[in-house]
Structure 1
Amino acid sequence: MMEHAFVEMINIHRGIIYKVCNLYGLDQEDKNDLFQEVVLQLWKAFPSFRQESKQSTWMYRIALNTAITNFRKASRRPESRGISTDEFQIPDLGTYPEEDEQMSLLKRAINCLTEIEKAIILLYLEDKTYDEISEIIGISKSNAGVRITRIKNKLEKIIKSDRYELR
């Protein structure tokens, strides 16, 4: 019965995992590995989920913590060569042909942020309330508001400088 509830939760909220993986994964292989690691960590934590928060809030917290932990581990590890993606029939979760220039600029700007800033702006762009963001990230509501304002200003500067460099 627990397995069924877990699979149902993953199927309902898998978009959360995809978004986190697309934000923190460097390439498709990295995104796929991160997806598996997030699901594994969710499975390990599922028996202790007390339903005190929404499933989506709990999943964001686990997914973001897993992604940030993996990112930190990867930055300390020497570069390795992966298996060719030609050998696998895995769909690309992160490419959208209709993506416009503004979205592309925003994605490049977000990639310039720190890992915690990426997590906060992801939640903000998902229309999470300051209460939800503070609960997921583990900061106060007022700190979430201050950080969001600073991140927006930082993104604006990055985008303006990126546009200037393109000229």
Structure 2
Amino acid sequence: MDAIATHRQREDAEGFAALLQRHRGIVYKVAGTYARGADDREDLAQEIAAELWRAWPRYDPARSVSTWMYRVALNVGISHLRGDGRRRRHLVPFDAALHEAEAVSGDDHEQAQHLRLLQGFIATLDPLNRALLLLYLEDRPAREIGDVLGLSASNVGTRVNRLKQRIRDHVAPSTPD
């Protein structure tokens, strides 16, 4: 009986490893959104992968794998952000990605400026809105975003519209007439 259990565990681990490899972009996107600095992002990616492994036995195959992965990864990212906030008490929105955007020259300069402003804006958002915007920018349907975040699809639409307005106000503040 032990040989059968060991074989099943190995198959389960191999299946999980393949799944994680196929969807690793989710892990890195969430880690990049909720952590600053390369080392912090790598640590958070490892923490997300570990939590996905712990949650793997509870995965319901009737649900979308990417929705499940986003839900777990975002919960870990939000917990990380809260813990980081308690440790640091100051949000520093500029990291390597922002400095890389500054290095862009020529025709891409304006696009890099907008990217810097958007990243700075995202860094100021509360965890729920940060997750919402991340999923929206990933072109996830409102229903899936709602499933991940525990919101109705109409609530997602309303929140996205409000975030779009806040982005417009942040990126291109209105000038007095």
What runs of 5+ residues in structure 1 fail to find an aligned partner?
80-91
Q: Per-residue displacement from partner, 1:35-78 (whole Å, max 9, x unpaired)?
A: 01100100000011011211111000000000001111222236
Displacement, 1:23? Answer: 0.7
For 2:134, the equivalent position in structure 1 comes to 122
Q: Is 2:114–2:171's contact at 8 Å kept on the other side of the alignment?
A: no
State the match for 1:155 in structure 2.
167
C-alpha separation in 2, matches of 1:93 and 1:61: 24
Question: SS in structure 2 opposite 1:100?
Answer: helix
RCO higher in structure (CA 8 A, sep ≥6): 1
Work out whether 1:44 is the aligned partner of 2:41: no
Letter in 2 for 1:14: R
- Other-structure match for 1:55: 65
**CA displacement, residues 94-141 of structure 1 (integer Å, 9 cap, x when unaligned):** 957657222222212222221111100110011100100000011111
The within-5 A match list for 1:37-116 is 37-77=47-87, 100-116=112-128
Distance in 1 between residues matched to 2:153 and 2:55, nearest whole Å: 25
Amino acid paired to 2:46:
Q
Tell me, yes or no, if the aligned pair for 2:67 and 2:144 is still in contact at 8 Å: yes
TM-score, normalised via structure 1 length: 0.82
C-alpha separation in 2, matches of 1:144 and 1:78: 31
Match of 2:3 in 1: none
Q: Supply the RMSD in Å over aligned alpha carbons.
A: 2.2
Richer in helix (by share): 2
Q: Distance in 1 between matches of 2:120 and 2:79?
A: 22
Higher Rg: 2
Q: In 1, distance between residues paired with 2:64 and 2:97?
A: 25
SS in 1 for 2:139: coil
2:8 maps to what in 1? none
Could you tell me which residue of structure 1 aligns to residue 93 of structure 2? none
Is the CA contact 2:34–2:80 (under 8 Å) kept in the aligned structure 1? no
Cα distance in 1, alignment partners of residues 88 and 126 from structure 2: 21
State the aligned residue count.
151
Q: Paired residue for 1:23, among 25, 33, 36?
A: 33
CA distance in 2, matches of 1:93, 1:121: 18
State the Cα distance separating 1:145 from its structure 2 match. Answer: 0.8
